[in-house]
Amino acid sequence: MKIRAARSVSVASYLGLIAWVMAWIIMLGDVAPKHISLWLLLFVSPLLLPLRGVLAGRDKALIWGSLVSLLYAVHGGVVAWSDPDQRWLGLVEAGLSLSYLLSASYFIRWRAVSNAQT
């Protein structure tokens, strides 16, 4: 039960992080319309690299996704710290990325323990 819950939270957090970054760039942030495509390419493509494996629940992809999500935790923290107008945007980004990091870590650990016991 807890393995399924951790996987559900990790997938939801990862997909939520992708959606949040896209929404931030397209609608919520102060990105100039002529630069939206560039920002989407720079900020969303790293999240898309391990996406297939994250959705499949592969350990290596989950670990790579965790490493990538750390970049977004740092970015969100820096924005929250330095820009009072966009503080809530940074806090949501950092929260989603840390939620993914923790849930993916617990999912990998709990599944490994469960497989070792059987």
CB 93 within 8 A of CB 17: yes
Q: How many domains does the chain have?
A: 1
Write out the chain's pLDDT in tens, 118 residues.
Answer: 899 999 999 999 999 999 999 999 999 988 888 999 999 999 999 999 999 999 999 999 999 999 999 999 999 999 999 999 999 999 999 999 999 999 999 999 999 999 998 7
pLDDT at 30: 83
Range of the domain at 24: 2-117
pLDDT at 118: 75
What is the pTM for the complete model shown? Answer: 0.93
CB 47 within 8 A of CB 73: no
Radius of gyration of the chain (CA): 15
pLDDT at 15: 97
